[in-house]
Structure 1
Amino acid sequence: MPVRWYSVVIDCQDVVAQADWWSQVLGWPKAYEAEDEVVLIPPHAFTDAYRETPPQERGQGLVFVPVPEGKTVKNRLHLDLAPGPDDDQAAEVQRLLDMGATRADVGQGEDVSWVVLADPEGNEFCVLSARDI
């Protein structure tokens, strides 16, 4: 039987600030908070229907843990965020910039359909064009 992808762990220097920022970005509440770890999960994970979903079919959470060092090189793994089918990619990018994201150049070129940004601690992520799935 294959293993289940449970969460993505994000190393950071300020666990609470990073978790709060990503909570606002995604609209995900905190499921667990301690000095050395904060866990965010999708809002539907708090519903009865989610609890009845087989574990292998459940979505992943984000876990923020402290590390002493700052980020120094491009991420080897990043998150892709997608606006809904009726949402505007440029408006979402601006919302994230207004929240403290910065534009990032990871060699993507100018002819791509996504925008590369970095969170307040420099972790790159992409904002894709609007998607319905």
Structure 2
Amino acid sequence: MALRWYSTVVESTDHRALARWWAEALGWDAAYASDQEVVLVPPWAEELTAALPFHRVPPGMVFVPVDHEKSGKNRLHWDFAPHTTDDRNAEIDRLVALGATIIDVGEPEEATWTVLADPEGNEFCVLSARDQ
């Protein structure tokens, strides 16, 4: 038996605002929202969920409220990659315009990724363009 990666949970001091930010950043939809959580899924999730077996349905993101600010570097982060037909630098500029910050976590000068932080300081990377 294998487990399905169901979701990634993100703690936030303003879970609704951070979920809106990530929905805009990823082009995802809010599937559910309450005072306890906001669930984001890719726009194709409903179609895929009906067509795929349980173990092959892709994960979503869940934002939950907490009282405390983030402190320290994440021990887990997301890597996102643009397609080779997309303009990677324009995508990074778009994320920064939405409220992300480019940060330095000690990556090498020749790194093929850029480290950013969302509006609450959660680190994520934009990798070099990929075709798969």
The amino acid that maps onto 2:69 is G
TM-score by length of 1: 0.96
Q: Distance in 2 between matches of 1:85 and 1:71?
A: 33
Measured against aligned partners, the alpha-carbon deviations of 1:7-65 in whole angstroms (never above 9, x if no partner) come to: 00001100110000000000000000001200000111122x43120010110100000
How far apart, CA to CA, are the structure 1 residues paired with 2:51 and 2:80?
27
Between the aligned partners of 1:86 and 1:52, the Cα distance in structure 2 is 28
Partner of 2:128: 129
Q: Partner of 1:72 in structure 2?
A: 71
Alpha-carbon distance between aligned partners in 2 of 1:39 and 1:63, rounded to the nearest angstrom: 5
CA RMSD in angstroms, aligned pairs only? 0.9
2:87 matched to which residue of 1? Answer: 88
TM-score, length of structure 2 as denominator length: 0.96
- Hey, what's the Cα distance between the residues in 2 that align with 1:111 and 1:22? 28
How many residues matched? 132
Unaligned runs of 5+ in 2: none
Alpha-carbon distance in 2 for matches of 1:36, 1:108 = 36
**Corresponding residue for residue 103 of structure 1:** 102
1:29 maps to what in 2?
Answer: 29
- Give me the whole-angstrom Cα distance separating, in 2, the residues matched to 1:4 and 1:28: 20
C-alpha separation in 2, matches of 1:110 and 1:98: 24
Q: Structure 2 CA distance, aligned partners of 1:25 and 1:95?
A: 8
CA distance in 2, matches of 1:107, 1:9: 26
1:91 is displaced (CA, Å) by 0.7
Shift of 1:84: 1.5
2:28 maps to a residue whose letter is: W
